[in-house]
Structure 1
Amino acid sequence: MSQRTLIQFFHWYLPEGRLWDDTAAAALGLAEMGVTDVWLPPATKGASGAMSVGYDTYDLFDLGEFDQKGTVPTKYGTRAALETACAALRDHGLRVIHDVVFDHKMGADETERVQVRRANPENRTEIEDEAFDATTHTRFTFPGRAGAHSRFVWDHKCFSGVDRIEDPEEDGVFRLVNQYGDGEWNEEVDDELGNFDFLMGADVEFRNRAVYEELKFWGRWLAEQMPVDGFRLDAAKHIPAWFFRDWVGHCRDSISPDLFVVAEYWHPDRDALATYLERTDHQLSLFDAALVHRFHDAARAGADYDLRTIFDGTLVQSQPDHAVTLVANHDTQPLQALEAPVEDWFKPLAYALILLREGGVPCLFHPDLYGASYADTGNDGQTHDITLAPVACLAKLTQARQRFAHGPQTDLFASATCIGFIRHGTAEAPGCVTILSNGEPASLSAELGPDHAGATFVDWLGHCDGECVADEAGRLEVRCEGGSVSVWVNKAAL
């Protein structure tokens, strides 16, 4: 199959009820463009019903099939439409990546009277010694599903903590008193806020063996229902690494050894990512959060940013085989929790840097291909209208990845405001020369070797008119416009 190219085929503000149909309709075009893997949003029923983006997990076994939370379909459509979408992707040679949200559950069906201990929200390792009685929303019976697919009932023994109690009524972070962990949170989670086990809602207790087995069963069950070629693992900072080490290994044994798995361990420190990869036996990849922030900073700084440092401290620089590179996602888009938007002028440069280089699996973002318009409330309390324009050359860059991004790589990082790289090609596939500038129009010299003497090159993206011809030694002078990127390819390869 072609080099792996992933797309996140959704964003936070999609209209209701259409995504599965849109996915099926887009499959052919994505395949022709050079996409190989399609990451779908959480398909399971969320607590907010038809409005749920999917991260407020209610019922893992309801894929838009049962009348629960006021709706049969999820925000994205019915289970039947999901099955059709997955089949269409597979029919066009595309792999299906499912979003897995295990950290928490929300929207309980019943309450329970339990004992809890207060934890300091700013340092969760500080847990009060004294326990007290409270009412919690921790019993999930899924009456609308009535035992179909799974008869497992979740209760307070399946959770480690909650963020709301009643009688007394209080919001905060509360450790449930149970037999797991001697009253402490899970280990092998991120150390933010002392211990980052707790995130929201009813926090799943992975040390409960029944829960552990139910989640393994769900992975096997999903693969029996529809195509599964991989997973995106949500909120990995809050889930013990040992659990995903076991769960991913189990799914590879049960479903396919070739499953592609990427975890959302959103951390800018590559040392923290390296530790997580070690704890999970390097069975998965991680999103390169540091690179996203480099792109954000570079776009804002313009010609004042030293492009030679763009990969410093990134995961793709240190562990390229375990890096998923991206420019934006649903959490970094404007008005979302990790907002770090990359300005429009820089997006073509950023995408060229992830699509055409060796190392890493690049991930496209739905609005960068199709555009998006939405309104939401910002941190300032005001409503903002947002329009995200599609990146005009993104389809061409994605095609270039499959057609020309082959062979060994030589970096041409001589200037702070103009960098480039050569992909030298192979005996079977051509290469290319990529050049980009964050300042004035620029040029650089690429040593291609005598095999390319006299060859004529053109800009695949069409940003630069005319041709460039290699001299008798195979030296090629390439150029690009200011604040732009060009991809020079051998005219004979076209």
Structure 2
Amino acid sequence: MENFTMLQYFQWYYPADGSLWKKMEREAEELKTFGIDTLWLPPAHKGMDGGVSTGYDVYDHYDLGEFNQKGSVATKYGTREELLRAVKAGQAAGLQVYMDIVLNHLGGGDETETITVRKVNPENRNEFTSEPFEIEAYTKFTFPGREGKYSPFQWDFQCFTGVDYDEKTGESAIYSIQNQYGEGWQDVLDTENGNYDYLMLSDIDFRNPSVVEELKRWGEWFHETVGFDGFRLDAIKHMPATFYNEWLDHMRSVTGKELFTVGEYWSPGKLDDMLRYIDATEGRMSLFDACLQANFSNASKQGNEFDLATIFSGTLVEARPELAVTLVENHDTQPLQSLEQTVDLWFRPLAYAMILLRATGYPCIFYPDLYGAKYSDEGNDGEKHEVTLEAIPQIQTLLGLRKNNVYGTQRDYFDHPNCIGWTVDGDADRPGSGIAVIISNGDAGFKDMEMGKEFAGRVFRDRLGNIEQEVVINEDGWGTFHCNGGGVSAYTAD
């Protein structure tokens, strides 16, 4: 089976100029030639901030840039027709297209309702801090700009578990809505803050069967309209696992497609939580390896004090490689974002080698590492910051090596705190395949590693161009491979 690589085809600060879908249509063939196989697109629906919304503040799932709602027709990324053309162009070029699905909450309600709520302790959401009382909340979604096209369904307070704003008093807090489906939160696996059902805005209540049926209908409509190949699921730790079990089974049944799915269960350092979620969803979806991304960030900050031999310890790709989507950064971890957990520039080529040049995991490249990015925003310190993210020049070479060489049996040499390596011995059906990789986070290093006797006498060269010295494999199938300090080298046979 051919190695696949995913590209997150956006970043948080992508310009709000409606250009992304047109850019994708233009670049689709080039991206496939480059070694990209799948594109993860941003949320395609209208957000509560209209044409400047990233889409994670979802207002109307049915508005793909078609209706004049929230101050614009187009979304941040373009119009409905531009989206459809982009997806068709991607698929015609041989790319698979994954859509970002945001079903945890809605924002930007059209009307207020007087509803009964109880305040909760933000640090222990199971603890009520008030008796029931009334607030005015924006929990009525009538979508007047769409006028019932595609779906007549309207949302009200019976569709939500909580809100965070009282229009009557202007107070912000976490309010548990008292509706016919319960006075407390839904049953979610994550126990942070007591119960982490509530994240933001108007939190969707999946205990309401009308809501579940509407989201199934929307999913069918979305696939019929766009014809995508898979999903990235947002904020799943804040939702009952049982909902996605039912929804994914339904979507796969009605479409007759595999619909590859990766979920965002973002719990760095909490592998057990992620494994519990995998058990609860019975392997229906892959997860992003938040634990590995945290290790990359820590390693980049600690330099030679970080024990490279432990870089994969406590990670999903170590525990469940078949369900791990590996990554270096994403739109939430990038500088100035809510889950900021950056990987320093010097370490990025090393991290990308560790996800692209290994036989395990499904790697995902972040948009700025391919294209670069410049933006400014306010940080947690209240100050404005200018950010420049440089593209990684080795990305194209790494993608080519992944596509052509990373096949066969992998042997790891994680026997030194500052210098690690591995070999993948090639596949007889892929002439020229096989690779040896060596990485240092300290001084220049070398390592004796086995390629296999079938490579005896073959000359290996560093395709990343960091080491000029050739390696000749001895009669037993071994070679001595070198790398520079703080660098990575990847050797293949002539």
Q: Identify the TM-score tier after normalising by the shorter chain.
A: over 0.9
SS of residue paired to 1:167: coil
Aligned partners of 2:73 and 2:172: how far apart in 1? Answer: 31
Cα distance per residue 1:297-351 (max 9 Å; x no partner) = 1111111111000011111110111111100000000000111110111001101
SS of residue paired to 2:195: coil
Deviation at 1:128, TM superposition (A): 4.4
Partner residue in 1 for 2:248: 248
Deviation at 1:2, TM superposition (A): 2.8
Partner residue in 2 for 1:204: 204
2:449 matches 1:446: yes
Deviation at 1:152, TM superposition (A): 0.4
SS of residue paired to 1:183: coil
Question: Aligned partner of 2:184: which letter?
Answer: E
Contact 2:419 2:442 in 1 (8 A): yes
SS of residue paired to 1:399: helix
Task: Kindly report which structure 2 residues correspond to 1:336-485, keeping only aligned pairs within 5 A, or say none.
Answer: 336-429=337-430, 430-485=433-488
Question: Aligned partner of 1:161: which letter?
Answer: G
2:95 matches 1:123: no
Aligned partners of 2:170 and 2:452: how far apart in 1? Answer: 74
Contact 2:231 2:262 in 1 (8 A): yes
Partner residue in 2 for 1:19: 20
Deviation at 1:443, TM superposition (A): 1.1
Partner residue in 2 for 1:274: 275
Aligned partners of 1:279 and 1:98: how far apart in 2? Answer: 23
Cα distance per residue 1:360-393 (max 9 Å; x no partner) = 1110000001000000000111100000000110
Contact 1:418 1:437 in 2 (8 A): yes
SS of residue paired to 2:51: helix
Partner residue in 1 for 2:85: 84
Aligned partners of 2:206 and 2:299: how far apart in 1? Answer: 40
Aligned partners of 2:158 and 2:453: how far apart in 1? Answer: 70
Partner residue in 2 for 1:220: 220
Aligned partners of 1:407 and 1:450: how far apart in 2? Answer: 14
2:91 matches 1:107: no
Deviation at 1:46, TM superposition (A): 0.2
Partner residue in 1 for 2:8: 8
Contact 1:188 1:242 in 2 (8 A): no
Cα distance per residue 1:74-93 (max 9 Å; x no partner) = 00001111111101110111
SS of residue paired to 1:482: coil
Partner residue in 2 for 1:58: 59
Contact 1:112 1:137 in 2 (8 A): yes
Contact 1:404 1:425 in 2 (8 A): yes
Question: Aligned partner of 1:259: which letter?
Answer: L
Aligned partners of 1:300 and 1:166: how far apart in 2? Answer: 44
Partner residue in 2 for 1:325: 326
Cα distance per residue 1:95-141 (max 9 Å; x no partner) = 00000001111111111111111111111101246211221100001
Deviation at 1:166, TM superposition (A): 2.7
Task: Kindly report which structure 2 residues correspond to 1:250-329, keeping only aligned pairs within 5 A, or say none.
Answer: 250-268=250-268, 269-329=270-330
SS of residue paired to 1:364: strand
Aligned partners of 2:486 and 2:170: how far apart in 1? Answer: 55
Deviation at 1:154, TM superposition (A): 0.5
Cα distance per residue 1:170-190 (max 9 Å; x no partner) = 21011111111x311000241
SS of residue paired to 1:299: helix
Aligned partners of 2:380 and 2:412: how far apart in 1? Answer: 41
Contact 2:188 2:195 in 1 (8 A): no
Contact 1:97 1:230 in 2 (8 A): yes
Aligned partners of 2:283 and 2:452: how far apart in 1? Answer: 38
Partner residue in 2 for 1:135: 136
Deviation at 1:477, TM superposition (A): 1.3
2:149 matches 1:153: no
Aligned partners of 2:27 and 2:251: how far apart in 1? Answer: 28
Cα distance per residue 1:209-238 (max 9 Å; x no partner) = 010011111111111011211101001111
Aligned partners of 1:387 and 1:445: how far apart in 2? Answer: 39
Question: Aligned partner of 1:434: which letter?
Answer: V
Partner residue in 2 for 1:37: 38
Deviation at 1:472, TM superposition (A): 2.2
Deviation at 1:4, TM superposition (A): 2.1
Question: Aligned partner of 1:478: which letter?
Answer: F
Contact 2:459 2:470 in 1 (8 A): yes
Aligned partners of 2:256 and 2:33: how far apart in 1? Answer: 26
Change (3 A) 1:474 1:189: closer
Cα distance per residue 1:40-83 (max 9 Å; x no partner) = 00000000111101100000000001000010000000111111
Deviation at 1:257, TM superposition (A): 3.8
Aligned partners of 1:218 and 1:458: how far apart in 2? Answer: 53
SS of residue paired to 2:412: strand
Question: Aligned partner of 1:211: which letter?
Answer: V
Contact 2:233 2:264 in 1 (8 A): yes
Question: Aligned partner of 1:66: which letter?
Answer: F
SS of residue paired to 1:51: coil
Aligned partners of 2:395 and 2:308: how far apart in 1? Answer: 21
Deviation at 1:445, TM superposition (A): 1.1
Aligned partners of 1:444 and 1:25: how far apart in 2? Answer: 44
Aligned partners of 2:21 and 2:153: how far apart in 1? Answer: 28
Unaligned stretches of 5+ residues in structure 1: none
Cα distance per residue 1:422-460 (max 9 Å; x no partner) = 001111121100111111111111222221111011111
SS of residue paired to 2:351: helix
Question: Aligned partner of 2:437: which letter?
Answer: T
Contact 2:447 2:480 in 1 (8 A): yes
Aligned partners of 1:4 and 1:229: how far apart in 2? Answer: 14
Partner residue in 2 for 1:163: 164
Deviation at 1:167, TM superposition (A): 2.6
SS of residue paired to 2:14: coil
Aligned partners of 2:208 and 2:112: how far apart in 1? Answer: 20
SS of residue paired to 1:384: strand
Contact 2:4 2:403 in 1 (8 A): no
TM-score after normalising by structure 2 = 0.97
Question: Aligned partner of 1:249: which letter?
Answer: D
2:231 matches 1:231: yes
Unaligned stretches of 5+ residues in structure 2: none
Question: Aligned partner of 2:14: which letter?
Answer: L
Identity, in percent, stands at: 47
Aligned partners of 1:176 and 1:472: how far apart in 2? Answer: 72
